[in-house]
Structure 1
Amino acid sequence: MYRNRIVAGVLAATALATGAAACSGDDKGDAAAAPAGSSAPAASPSGAPSAGGPFGPACSAVPASGKGSFQGMAADPVATAASNNPVLSTLVGAVKKAGLVDTLNSSKNITVFAPTNDAFAKIPKETLDKVLSDKKTLTGILTYHVVGRQVAPDGLGAGDFKTLNGAMLKSSGSGDSYTVGDDAKVVCGNVQTANATVYIIDSVLMPPK
């Protein structure tokens, strides 16, 4: 029972996920895929283009303009940027329940690993609902998806990061293919918001016991 609760909670952690608008699936809120090369390059918090820009198969779903575009997300702090993408609605809802919106938006130079709504769908609704109603557990899970410094794509090759939860999180990979934790794949990475670098992942991370 405890494990199920943790699993659901992990999903909630995806709420952190922040502004990444990149997600495939059947969600009605998904934005239509933009033509290749039509999306503006992501910008760093300083306003300069991020080296290499966003990458990953789900990035094609990000609109070319508007609040949910790469350029639009770069102008807003992470929690606000995430709220502009319906694909991240579960994550945003969890962040609100945990009372972390202001904390995330005011943090400087952080990295957020954000599970998509599809990742949440892998957890039984009853279990997820229990985690969402437990603020302490939810907060612990959400903060496990946040690293207190910005991590560039090449930093994920053999990463070992201390999360805001206090626990360590590993990553591995190369090129445009990276794994975070045990098996979460980055489906759209190096997305910039005004105060964070976001990596959208296809699974919820499981905090160590």
Structure 2
Amino acid sequence: MRVSRTVATVFGGAALLMASACAANESAAPNTGSAGDPMTSTATAASGEFGAACAAVPKDGPGSFQGMAMDPVATAASNNPVLSTLVAAVQQAGLVDTLNSAKDITVFAPTNEAFAKIPPETLNQVLADKAALTKILTYHVVGKSVAPSDLSAGSFETLEKDKVSTAGSGQDYTVNDAKVVCGNVKTANATVYLIDSVLMPPAA
């Protein structure tokens, strides 16, 4: 079942709005930890993760970087409050077991802020359409491990079968038109890149 033109338009508009908001937030505020200490690129690079939104990830417990590394990806995401809307969508689509049982995959994970740009009635419409929701969610998953160095000029087939394109360098990467806001997060079976907007399959 294909996603309606209206839904696709709203998701696309959300991507543009979120990109603008993200840029404004980054220029307006420094990166700080939970205690207000500056977060430098060295601090995140030490454990492999990078990006401004990494500061919002819990410092300890199951939802922390260390905690997520112990669990398969859907379980790991469910412990991270930054990804609660995505987790609800994955559960609604019945994809928890599919993602948890996969090996060495890559997930481009929209944050709660990305979903928040979508009008509630439109989001509810998509959540109620399992076929459309599955198509959108599987477009965010690549069936192999993608390292940050692979993102500089990449094209990757997703589980939905269409491709996503990546570009950038250093700690500044995009996936289609979405920006990676916290990258190289490891779970037991996946590499996760948190992104600032929801990706839409080309045929949607």
Q: Secondary structure of 1:178's match?
A: strand
Partners of 1:38 and 1:116 lie apart in 2 by 22
Q: Counterpart of 2:101?
A: 106
Residue of 187, 190, 194 corresponding to 2:184: 190
Unaligned runs of 5+ residues in structure 1 are: 12-23, 25-31, 43-52
Q: Which amino acid in the other structure matches residue 60 of structure 2? A: S
TM-score, normalising length from structure 2?
A: 0.81
Q: Counterpart of 1:18?
A: none
CA deviations on 1:33-70 (whole Å, 9 max, x unpaired) are 3654778965xxxxxxxxxx000011122232211111
Q: Structure 1 pair 143/7, CA: closer, same or farther in 2 (3 Å)? A: farther
TM-score, normalising length from structure 1?
A: 0.79
Pairing of 1:40-55 with structure 2 (within 5 A): 42=47, 53-55=48-50
Q: Secondary structure of 1:33's match?
A: coil
Partners of 2:160 and 2:69 lie apart in 1 by 25
Q: Counterpart of 1:21?
A: none
CA deviations on 1:3-35 (whole Å, 9 max, x unpaired) are 222356789xxxxxxxxxxxx9xxxxxxx7365
Give the stretch that moved more between structures: 119-128 or 56-65.
56-65
Contact 1:39/1:69 (8 A) holds in 2: no
Q: Secondary structure of 2:150's match?
A: helix
Contact 2:86/2:111 (8 A) holds in 1: yes
Q: Counterpart of 1:143?
A: 138
Per chain length, whose mean CA-contact separation is higher, i.e. which structure has more relative contact order (CA < 8 Å, sep 6+)?
A: 1
Partners of 1:99 and 1:10 lie apart in 2 by 24
CA-based RMSD: 2.4
Larger radius of gyration: 2
Q: Structure 1 pair 105/10, CA: closer, same or farther in 2 (3 Å)? A: farther
Q: Which amino acid in the other structure matches residue 147 of structure 1? A: V
**Does structure 1 residue 200 correspond to structure 2 residue 197?**
no
**Does structure 1 residue 123 correspond to structure 2 residue 118?**
yes
Q: Which amino acid in the other structure matches residue 184 of structure 1? A: A
**Does structure 1 residue 33 correspond to structure 2 residue 34?**
yes
Contact 2:78/2:84 (8 A) holds in 1: yes
Contact 2:57/2:80 (8 A) holds in 1: no
**Does structure 1 residue 78 correspond to structure 2 residue 73?**
yes
Unaligned runs of 5+ residues in structure 2 are: 14-24, 26-32
Q: Structure 1 pair 159/169, CA: closer, same or farther in 2 (3 Å)? A: same
Shift of 1:152: 0.3
